[in-house]
Structure 1
Amino acid sequence: MTGHTSRNRLGIFALRAAPIQISYLGYPGTTGAPFFDYMIADRRLIPPEQRAYYSEKIIYLPHQYQAQDDHPPLPAHMPSRAELGLPDRGFVFCAINNSYKIGPAEFAIWTRLLKQVEGSVLWMLRSDAVFERNMLCRAAVEGVDPARIIFCDRSGLADYLAKLTLADLFLDSFTYNAGATASHALWAGLPVLTRTGAGYTARMAGSLLHAIGLPELITTSDQDYEALALALATDPERLARIKTKLGANRATEPLFDTNLFTHHIELGYQHAYQRYFIGLAPDDIDVADRRTAR
């Protein structure tokens, strides 16, 4: 229940409200608390070299850690680029992530991309006035016209998904990846480019991209991230092929297979309960892939 963040309910778990207590999604990382028996993840999110840094036992799901809704709401209106202040023809780099996720390293790359891709813009999520002023000032320092930074207002899920269809490429943040935002972008047909890191929050988008069959959009260095972003922004045919693949994979790969995910997480619960029922201590659990068992 939100872990070490505001308005959390850790006190309930500290009192052992249930015989088996599992941490999931609300807090992206280990709680370090002795009263959580398990956390739910996948092996791309927590690779072997990072396992020692988690106090919980891990229930490893076979594809991705994140539950998805394969029937999101439909918008009543599909906006045009002009309605949202975007150029009709220019390339739209989308970085609609919460402001606290964005660091100086990725923003410097984004401004360099703007300078190299003529007519392009960077589309960011509207936040507080201080954040917006800092982004515009930093862009100017980097030699980019601040008018090429466009802020997107928050909206309900249906309208938000409709907006995402107007962008060309989603640029992920580094230390704290897009999570639900990356899923929303992929559902909307917007390719997500990420640079994977060591910790949980730096590996979330990579987990999702593997689950939708697009590992080619996962990079491991700042240089590769920037080079691939530039290549996709300047090669329309290559980007179109990725979008076509994304559209096809949405219906066939595990990421948006809600029923499959439900089966997998329920199997994880069952394994955890079976250990408890026969008196075994919690231990790491690998959930078998039901797709390979069909």
Structure 2
Amino acid sequence: GEADALRAHGVAVQADRAEVGRNLQDHLQARLVFKCREATLNDEIRSFYDKARIGLEYALFRSGPMTMAASLVFGFMKTRPGLATPDIQFHIQPWSADSPGEGVHPFSAFTQSVCQLRPESRGRIGLRSADPMQHPLIEPNYLATRSDQDTLVAGIRMARAIARTEPLRGAISEEFRPAAGLETRDELLDWARMNSTTIYHPTGTCRMGPDDAAVVDARLRVKGLRGLRVADCSIMPDIVSGNTNAPAMMIGAKLARMVAEDRKAAAAPAPAA
């Protein structure tokens, strides 16, 4: 890591790699919530009895709400016509909550999340102390650039437009979040800053690259050290325009092949003189 930061916490410096922990990128989601005229998953999982029934149904028959993905509908869209590829992903979920992990709302509703796919903003992760059990200091630095702000606000407006189109319009009784009174760019941006959440796609903090500042090389070896490689989404120079699970698996599979290649090359007899 960065030598001065390590020394400040009494950690011996093995390699001065100032970029470790920098270049943090993540997919931020703004979660719009719409109240519905008919029952949603909120109504099925609110009580302890409902949760027990659903758990039993899954345990015995592998059926019911627990067989569903968190989001049932996805959509990739462009916020501007001149873009080569989509810059926004929508997730529609048949339930709603203040944030993931909390209890569902006490009314029928669904969530339409707006996720910005290619953020320009960069954050960082740093040490809190030398204790590896302490959580690190995380500065996501979301929405730090004008482009990121404009893209997310445009996505929120697109999500609203979809909700106002049939057949969704007929199923919706009220926009709960952000709420109909918020219309201007600054109002929607302020709401997004206060209410958006991560989709848990952190990447970039051990950036791969040919330059001296990069943390790992093309074979995922940490520069300046022997016997240490990194194989997860932290090696991405730029975040992918979608979920990170499959790319993470690909990175691991690629490294496994490279390690096997290196072992085979090391075991090969030297060419005759």
State TM-score, norm by structure 1: 0.23
Normalized per residue, the structure richer in strand is 2
Higher relative contact order (CA 8 A, sep 6+): 2
Normalized per residue, the structure richer in helix is 1
Larger radius of gyration: 2
